[in-house]
Amino acid sequence: MERKTEAGQSREGLLRSYNQGQSIPLRRSLEDAYRADSESDIDVTEFLDRDPLNETSQVPVAAYETTTKLRNIRTLFTRRSKCVLIVLAVLAVFWSLLAGGGFALYKKKPEDGKSPPWYPSPAGGTVKQWSESYSKAAGLVKKMTLPEKVNITTGTGWQMGLAVGNTGPANNVGFPGLALQDGPLGLRFADNATAFPAGITVGATWNKELMYLRGKAHGQEARLKGVNVLLGPCVGPIGRMPAGGRNWEGFGSDPVLQGIAAAQTIKGIQEENVIATIKHFVGNEQEHFRQSWEWVLPNAMSSNIDDRTLHEVYGWPFQDSVKAGVASVMCSYQMTNNSYTCGNSKLLNGYLKDELGFQGFVQSDWLAQRSGVGSALAGLDMTMPGDGLRWANGDSLWGPELTKAVLNGSVPVSRLNDAVTRIVASWYQLGQDDKSKFDNEGPNFSSWTNDQMGFVNAGSPDDKDSKVVNQFINVQGEDENAHSIIARRVATEGTVLVKNEGSILPLSKDGFPAGEGDVIKMRIGIFGEDAGEGKGRNFCLDRGCNQGTLGSGWGSGAVEFPYLITPTAAIKEAFSKDRVYVTDFPTNKPTLSKNPEILDDQDVCIVFVNSDGGEGYISSDGIRGDRNDLGLQKGGDQLVKDISVGCGRGKGSTVVVVHSIGPVVVESWVNLPGVKAVIMANLPGQESGNAIADVLVGNVNPSGKLPYTIGKSLEDYGPGGKVMYYPNGAVPQQTFSEGLYIDYRWFDKHANAPRYEFGFGLSYTTFDYSNLVIKKFLEKTPLPAPRPSVLPPPKLDDAIPDPSEALFPAGFRKLSKFIYPYLDKIPDMKKNKYPYPEGYDIIQPPSQAGGDEGGNPDLWNVYATASVDIKNTGSREGQEVVQLYLSYVDVAGEATKVDFPVRVLRAFEKISLAKDEMKTVTFNLTRRDLSYWDVLRQNWVMPHEGKITIRVGASSRDLRLMDWY
């Protein structure tokens, strides 16, 4: 199919939306979008001074005068006309809380929760893989002035720079400012870049090679666009709640699938000399109440996660990412165990930096930092975008405030030195000092305008110097190296066939067998708005609406489509025009009663339906971030019913294609007689139509497997699967009481029969499993080897510098709203000792589960292998995803007192087999794979008495072979 090309010297053709016939620049000021969805008219500094957990800084009653309340409500209604009902519900609960408990409840600070203090922050540079980079970094950092160090750790402010995140340079030592750019699906706000399939589609491929290749292509595009730090991949949310708005950015609802996909993606990105960022650390499982003030309440929700669940579920893919050498971790908006995650010392210092041995830098999500000194001590290394508690006002919690904090001793110089060294070491580790690989000239595109000319600091009214900000460099690759090839492979292999009654698929390109006198051999009708182009592929800012075919979710993880092949266009090209008559009706409300002929003569009806959602700052069609339910949207369920009943006067075959950000409930139509095939096509990106056409006509044998469970109702997922849509307190509490039991683990525990289980997917061929063999390499022992000794971190001067070096240089020209590290005058210094947080002076013993990147090296030793023979017993070539699950039902000793899921995924491999071909698949099982987290011993423990059951099969419920270790 010929691709529609656009572009050249202006992005007006490439990056425009169309609204009521008027052309509107797609990339209008994002400040307006964020403010409209994140703030009220009340200045938040009235409520959150420098530490939201400081009881004395909570809002006085006087701040809530009636006029202010009415102004806030009026503003919210005018800004969010599409989510009035949500706002009303939130306000109703909010004011009922005030009425029931008075202002005391609203003023009540969050409880300390279950997150103990862990200080001081461990220094980086303790593992050999990073030793050379840390040595270089230390040599550079020791030459830096205090303002230069602060410059590197603090963003310059929203829209202060060409990227979505920018740090200041250390000019005296030749260290550049860094450019940070979204996101996990592609380069946000960039021209001539690929719109890859979403993470959930990548997970559905179960193909490690494609995970790596997509990451490498993504990293190459970032490097060629001048991006130092790519804000992806995403493994949080992990998909605890199937309706979660951002699940699509990750790879699926299992920690092992997420971890392997993330590690492969990171490997690909970082091989291109770009710093990968694993996010969102940790517990960011829903959009509702994730951020202060975004939902009226002054505090974000708290995700309350127990220690074992953190290690075995939510932290598992982050551990894989650290093991893969990821150089940046983004901490999330919400609280974890009632401490803001970007200021949670137990998570950042104790878990991430000590136990997991993370050597890179921790950056905040945009405005996720909620305290200044507190977050620095807790292990935050970089604040983004630099602004503090409000968007785009230039008032940072760090910047000059961090300079003051160092000078008055409230932030030790050693802590600042470590933060800076971690950032600089990451720059060296990824080879960004090598000009032959990375030019460090900054982005060659602007996130804030589509025009060639613009302002570098678009957020400051003082920047009057118009420059070339968009060079329109095409980074999509060419010919056999075109990234569209990878995008199409991922989209195709991430397409999951879940029903194929009577082997209706694949459809013949030439229609029915020839018959005497026949001209048209088959009639195919395409139905549904999701099949067409709608109002344009980039109609809404950040893809924040559901119209046309759904190729991505919405929010900061979305990108501008350089092109989007629609299903209708590709399907029409796929069939013989002489023998197959294809008509399309790209609407969810076809006039069937007035025009019954639309359906009467069809032999096959292909219905395209979808379910959309995304990040919480966008509201569309009554959905704000998280989906309201698991149903199809825009009347999709009824459309399927109507088409399937009427197709060919009840004699035709209906094929349903679902594009969705996550699971959808299909019970109302999946068993209708006319519905012969169902395809879960996930979010396929720019090659959407080509991918689905390849599967429908059999150019490619479908090989995708579900990266989540499709239940028969939302209730099937258990209480933990439900989004909290209404606050249950001034600080909403979301307790993960289901523990390890999310997705298929919950279904297994409670013997719930899913409609389609995790790991399930059909093929046009069949596979036979045989000869499972377990080989022991090491004997089981309860605990890993003792933690090895680590390298000493670099030693730098930790004396407080002369305050005079922090002053603005003479004649310095300031830009308003730009965040500088300098001070106007030398501040008065307090002589009394700074009141460090409780527990700051407690000496923390190093975790025995640590000792290297990814934890104790023994965790990664192979203790056993499992091999199995797979044979293609069907009539055509195909790919099979071989899955290995562990069970602990036959273990003995103290492990019998431990609660284990029925089965847990531990490994998978995807193989290609010709007809009648057989291959042997071998899995390596590490100590961590065979262990559970013991909360008392604070270590990974392997059940060493009895047998660990190993099962291999084609899905989580199609396990065909079993053996023991």
Residues noted as catalytic: 365
| H or E stretch at 213 | helix 208-224
Q: Within 49-113, where are the H helices? A: 66-79, 84-107
Instruction: Return the H-helix or E-strand segment holding 781.
Output: none
Task: Give DSSP secondary structure letters for 648-705.
Answer: GGGTSEEEEEEEESS----TTTTTSTTEEEEEE----GGGHHHHHHHHHTTSS-----
> Token pair of 781, please?
């022992």
Give the C-alpha separation, 271 to 196, whole Å.
Answer: 18
| CA-closest candidate to residue 55, choices 102, 105, 108 | 108
Q: Are 547 and 608 in contact (CB under 8 A)?
A: no
What are the DSSP calls for 118-160, one per residue?
--SPPPS--SGGGHHHHHHHHHHHTT--HHHHHHHHBB--TTS
CA distance 833 to 766: 72
Whole-angstrom Cα distance, residue 130 to residue 423? 12
Spatial CA neighbour of 744 closest among 611, 928, 905: 905
The region, left, alpha or beta by phi > 0 then psi within -120 to 50, assigned to residue 616 is: alpha
**Residue 517 backbone zone (phi > 0: left; psi -120 to 50: alpha; other: beta):** left
CA-based end-to-end distance of the chain: 51
If DSSP codes are grouped into helix, strand and coil, which group holds residue 363?
A: strand
What is each CA distance from 613 to 495, 557, 622, 815, in whole angstroms? Answer: 19, 12, 10, 38
Evaluate whether 144 touches 423 at the Cβ level (below 8 Å).
no
496-500/580-585 β-pairing: unpaired
Q: Which residue type, as a one-letter code, is found at position 540?
A: C
Beta strand 675-680 with 496-500 is antiparallel
Residue in the structure block whose two tokens are 């195709």: 492
* DSSP H or E segment with residue 23: strand 22-25
Provide the 10 A C-beta neighbour count for residue 439.
Answer: 14
Measured CA to CA, the distance from residue 67 to residue 690 in angstroms comes to 56
Please count the CA atoms within 13 angstroms of the CA of 36 that sit on its side-chain side.
14
Task: Assess contact for 362 and 266: CB atoms under 8 A.
Answer: no
Which helix (H) or strand (E) covers residue 16, if one does? strand 16-19
Residue 749 tokens, joined: 């525990």
Go through 113-128 and write b for each residue having 16 or more CB atoms within 10 A of its CB, e for each that does not: bebebbbbbbbbbbbe
At 454, phi and psi to the nearest 5? -175, -170
Q: Residue 343: which residues within 8 A CB-CB, separation 6 or more?
A: 369, 370, 371, 374, 375, 378, 380
d(CA 758, CA 10): 45
Strand partners, 653: 604
- Per DSSP, the chain holds a count of helices (H) and strands (E) of 20, 31
Q: How many CB atoms lie within 10 A of CB 360?
A: 27
CA distances for 328 relative to 63, 209, 380, 424, angstroms: 39, 23, 11, 12
